[in-house]
Chains A and B, each alone.
Chain A
């Protein structure tokens, strides 16, 4: 399968994910888990601390400094649970 075909497949899956309402469902599930594990509080603290030290706070700079930290801070349990939910969705959409 070429790159373009791969990208087309990904786009198709993403479109279905959004139109079927599963994107919102997964998003809410993730948000809940992140709140419960304290990820939101840690990130809010980090973002506030970073923004307060900037002369002119802007999104790009904040995103650049916090994106990787945000990804790393996510609990392994949260990642595992979310992967299970996403795979469940994919199993229903993609015939193996």
Chain B
């Protein structure tokens, strides 16, 4: 019967469907691997849902306030903050951010200055202190330590501190 013979249109649709499926699968695999990598980096702590990232910087500021509040042993304020849907402070100093309204509690550990040497994305190995880094002066091409760089440039380019010969 004529309708059994695949038309060019139906073949084209089938091929397009396969191509799209391939794109979708590739994308899913990529995201899946990224998610697993993130979870391994944070030692099984699960990241916040995407919609909460917008307020993450506010939550970090709020956590700083909680840390200072807790440190002054103002337990009533700390308790009320801890019961808020946004944040809670753990005794070991790490800050826990969770959304109580969600069935699956999602936890991210923010090491912002309280301990560890990670940035807010969980990347380790922050840049070395500027004093121990060397910078090359483009005027005399010498390597100068970071802490001396400003003074050197001032002298090198004949600024106020340069010796007059």
Contact A57 B32 (CB under 8 A): yes
The number of chain A residues with a CB under 8 A from chain B is: 45
Contact A90 B6 (CB under 8 A): no
Contact B5 A52 (CB under 8 A): no
Q: Which A residues fall within an 8 A CB radius of B?
A: 1-3, 6, 9-10, 13-14, 17, 23, 26-27, 30-31, 34, 40, 43-45, 47-49, 51-53, 55, 57-59, 62-63, 66-67, 70-71, 74, 79, 82-83, 86-87, 90-91, 94, 96
| Main SS at interface, chain B | helix
| Main SS at interface, chain A | helix
| A70 and B20 alpha carbons, distance in the complex (Å) | 8
Interface residues on B, range: 35 or more
| A79 and B20 alpha carbons, distance in the complex (Å) | 10
What A residues does B21 contact at CB under 8 A? 67
* In the assembled complex, B4 has its CB within 8 A of some CB on chain A: yes
